Amino acid sequence: MTEDIDIRGLFSVIWNHKNLLMLIIALGTLLTFFIALSINTSYTARSSMLIYGENKAQDIDVSTLSKALSMDVGFILTEIEVLKSRNLAKKIVTRLNLTKDPEFNAGKKIITDILDTPPSENKNLGFKKLSVDGEEIESFQESETINNFLDALSVSSLPGSLAVKIGFTSKDPTKAALITNSYVDEYIKQRLETKNEGQIKLSEWLDKRVEDLQKQVLESETKAEEFRALNNLTAGKKDLLSSEELSNLSNQFIAAKTKYLDLKNQLKQANKSGSVDTKETFNSINSSLIKNLNVEKLTLETSISELSSRYGYRHPTMIKKQAELAEIKNKINQQIQVSKNSLKSELAIAKAHLGEIEKIIKQTTSQSNLDNSAMITLRELEREATASNNILKTFLEKYKRIDGKNFLQDPGARVISYANIPNAPSSPDKRLILALGIFISFIIGLATIFLNAKLYNKFRNAEDLENTFNIPYLGSIPYSRSGWGKNLINQILSNPSSPITEAIRNLRIGISNQKSDNEEKPKIVSILSSVKNEGKTTIAVLMSALAAKAGERVILIDTNLRTPSIHEALEQSNNNNLVDYLTGQKDLKDVIHKHKDTGLDIIFGSAVPNNAFNLLSMNKLDVLIEALRQNYDLVIIDTPACLTASDARLIEQLSDFSLYCVKSNKTKDKIVAKGIKPFVNHNNKKIAFVLTQEKT
């Protein structure tokens, strides 16, 4: 059957060892504090970004909602892998020159040391390529830097959304924020470049198609002109052109010539203007898109000028603004080039149209009759040329619209929030470490206390004694710093309310309450202990002195004939002692001494270790004890230690009651068990424990 847990006993053990527990907790806390200080502190900067695919603005019906959400999950997971790719990390490593940062390239010094080692010493280290090929060294360092960079990078998605969180951990909070924001910008830039690559390919195809159509128009018009020249035909619907029709042709020629010269002049000015940095560009090319982009450029330049007074060149905001300005300039330059190409195409058409009108006019002056069959063929060639020209014009219009959109590409991602410089470290959590340290120290302290209590074989309190031996406990005597002799006796006499005085008084009351077989209170009381120095002589002297001072007739006998000590405690001579009486050298009245301060009668002992047992076993001692019983209210007998000699058993048999002294937190349980065993084997009920020198 399992015993019930003694909760009160557990708390008692903890309370008795509270100082040890507090010491262990204090040491553990101090150790944890120094460990927390020694751990390198790191900071994590976090940014969030929205990533979306094509046609996200379109409505999705209920039937396809589940499928769309599933596709979004796959899309986000794919983009997360792109964000964690080595290629993207390499761009940031190169851009910020992180290969020279010891935080990310700790192995740089090791490689340098190896390369600086003489060939005779490192020839077997397997670094031959590193010693001769600088590119191999750079590749190795860059690879290690990227690996460390990716270890510090964290990318995660927010469930149920298209948002992604990007975090970067570094020892420097400013560096963590800079790298995080640079990484986000580089990703968006990469997405935009990827889309632009497709658009550039489309533009190249459109350019090739326009060129082919222009050739086709030119060929069609050339065929018509060659046929007209071959057949000496004049352009017109009638055989003879009236003066009015000739005037109209002249007006058309002038209008075509004017348009041609105007387009030629625009192209010339555009070629002179060069790039976006030339102011005449925007006057020479009438493009609303270029004007709008220029307004954005001027706005950004103004913003950069204002921000430069507040931020440094490497600030994330300045880096972002500079990147946006470069992107707008690039768009303007590309739009200028498109406009130039458009002007060239229109100039070619105007030139061809001008030539056609000029030829018609020339033909009208030399040709009067038209061949009907040739005229029909000419009309077919002209219709073919006109159709090709219309196709070219339509394609050019579409080309302008498509090419204009190319410079307004949506990267499919935008920043929700840029990373700020973190104020508090992300690791280690020193408060958590300190809390864990205190908790672990508390557990270790409890374990130490209970282990010590389990292994400790000394008695600390009355409960230990009673539970172990099932013998009653009458009281405990507190520890006193006054020492032996008159000092201790004078203290209890002069201070009747002191703790030790009260303890002795309570002990005396406890003995008086013990009834013998004849229902009388004990008169003959022996003081026992397992070994010496357990306080039995102190109790014997103090109890006798207090009882005598209270008016009782009391006699104290020192039966320790091996190492007597009562005379030393009272600082009196032990001449005329118990040995003299037992050997017949002195009468009883001659060996009884009087203590003048208390009126206590005393029979001192004398050291006769070889004959002590024989003397105490004589019938004369029995006669003495019986005589004293008749003449005194209380007879207290101090005995030798039980394990030192068997004399104490003789004295105990002559006593009405015995006190067995155990020194608190000092005497081992095995010694107490061995010492008290002879007195409890015969169901002796005339014995009780007293705990001595108990410290509170």
Q: Name the amino acid, one letter, at 678.
A: P
Q: Is the pLDDT of residue 470 over 60?
A: yes
* pLDDT tens column, 376-425: 676 777 777 787 777 777 777 766 666 555 555 667 788 888 888 888 77
Q: Please give the Cα distance from 675 to 57 (Å, whole number).
A: 96
Q: Name all domains of the chain by residue range, CATH numbers in brackets.
A: 11-184 (no CATH), 460-694 (3.40.50.300)
Q: Please give the Cα distance from 337 to 343 (Å, whole number).
A: 10
Whole-number pLDDT of residue 524 = 92
Whole-number pLDDT of residue 609 = 84
Q: Please give the Cα distance from 342 to 402 (Å, whole number).
A: 13
Q: Please give the Cα distance from 668 to 648 (Å, whole number).
A: 20
* pLDDT tens column, 18-74: 888 898 888 988 888 888 777 778 888 889 888 876 544 444 444 444 444 454 677
Contacts of 171 (CB under 8 A, 6+ apart): 40, 41, 42, 43, 103
Q: List, as one string, the DSSP characters of 249-261.
A: HHHHHHHHHHHHH
Whole-number pLDDT of residue 685 = 64
Q: Please give the Cα distance from 315 to 681 (Å, whole number).
A: 92
Type and span of the H or E element at 524: strand 524-529
The answer to whether 419 touches 178, Cβ cutoff 8 Å, is no
* pLDDT tens column, 657-679: 989 988 887 777 778 878 888 87
Q: Please give the Cα distance from 23 to 28 (Å, whole number).
A: 8
Type and span of the H or E element at 355: helix 316-366
Please report, rounded to a whole number, the percentage of residues in the chain having pLDDT higher than 70: 75
Per the model's pLDDT, the better-predicted residue between 593 and 496 turns out to be: 593
**Looking at the whole model, is its pTM more than 0.95?**
no
**Average predicted confidence (pLDDT) for the chain:** 76
Q: Is the pLDDT of residue 364 over 70?
A: no
Give the 3-state secondary structure of 619-676. HHHHHHHHHHHHHCCEEEEECCCCCCCCHHHHHHHCCCEEEEEEECCCCEHHHHHHHH
Where does the pLDDT of residue 592 fall: very low under 50, low under 70, confident under 90, or very high at 90 and above?
Answer: very high
Whole-number pLDDT of residue 400 = 67
Whole-number pLDDT of residue 637 = 94
Any idea of the CA torsion for 557, 561, 562, 566, to the nearest 10 degrees?
Answer: 30
State both tokens at 495.
């201070």
Q: Is the pLDDT of residue 76 over 50?
A: yes
* pLDDT tens column, 340-355: 888 788 888 888 887 8
Distances (CA, A) of 163 to 19, 52, 99, 413, 592: 55, 9, 31, 10, 104
Q: What's the Rg (C-alpha) of the chain?
A: 58
Helix axes 288-308, 316-366, angle to 10 degrees: 160
Q: Please give the Cα distance from 149 to 192 (Å, whole number).
A: 24
Q: Is the pLDDT of residue 256 over 90?
A: no
Give 3-state DSSP helix, strand, coil % of the chain, rounded to 5.
60, 10, 30
* pLDDT tens column, 215-243: 777 777 787 777 777 776 655 444 445 55
584-598 per-residue burial string, b: 16 or more CB within 10 A, e: under 16: eebeeeebbbebeeb
* pLDDT tens column, 162-181: 888 988 888 888 888 898 88
Q: What is the mean pLDDT of residues 199-207?
A: 68
